Amino acid sequence: MQEIIEEIMAYEPFTEQEAADKKLFLDKLQFQENLLTRENTDYHFSSSAWVINPTYDKVLMVYHNIYQSYSWTGGHADGCADLLFVAKKELEEETGIKDYQLIHEGLFAFDILPVQEHYKKGQLIKEYYHINTAYLFMAKEDQMLHIKEDENSDVKWIDVAELDQAVTEEEMRPYYHKMMEKARLLKK
């Protein structure tokens, strides 16, 4: 857990919201118990992959069954302190791709994301927050994709200009726009 705290401490926020989330984590949340597991029912770590194509005009997304929206890949840490590993594992499980590369060292984004109350496998899950780390990857579009049917019903490359139409979870749109803006700054 100490490595995660150090990585977050070293992270340079890209937005005011990220700065506020970093401050909240460092001031208060890091002292909570079980942040790496769902045993903490208020806050726990998740990790996501933001995957762009080599021309920076498409992003790889999955259609999330619970939220009925396209989203980045990712998942709960479930006890694993290597959040980059979690992002890679979820990327491979949810899309089937194997040929990709990390194109930004360390955290690419850090957010505390609200997760709305929902049902999973017939059980009500109360509202909680993901302490989310995100990493930036690049992959070619010609790879075979597969759907992780217990969580998603589609996986595809989405044109960045069509993100707002594909992402029906309006509260996530600003995060995805931030990711693309930041990725394009790296390209220059």
Average pLDDT for the chain: 95
| Angle between helix 2-10 and 16-27 (nearest 10) | 150
Q: Which residue has the higher pLDDT, 167 or 123?
A: 167
Quote the CA–CA distance of 101 and 45 in Å, as a whole number. 23
Hey, what's the torsion of the CAs at 35, 38, 42, 46, to 10 degrees? 60
Count CA atoms within 13 Å of residue 102 on its CB side: 12
Count CA atoms within 13 Å of residue 14 on its CB side: 18
Decide the pairing of beta strands 43-52 and 128-139: parallel
What local confidence, expressed as pLDDT, does residue 116 receive? 85
Hey, what's the torsion of the CAs at 104, 3, 112, 146, to 10 degrees? 60
* Residue 120 pLDDT level (bands cut at 50, 70, 90): confident
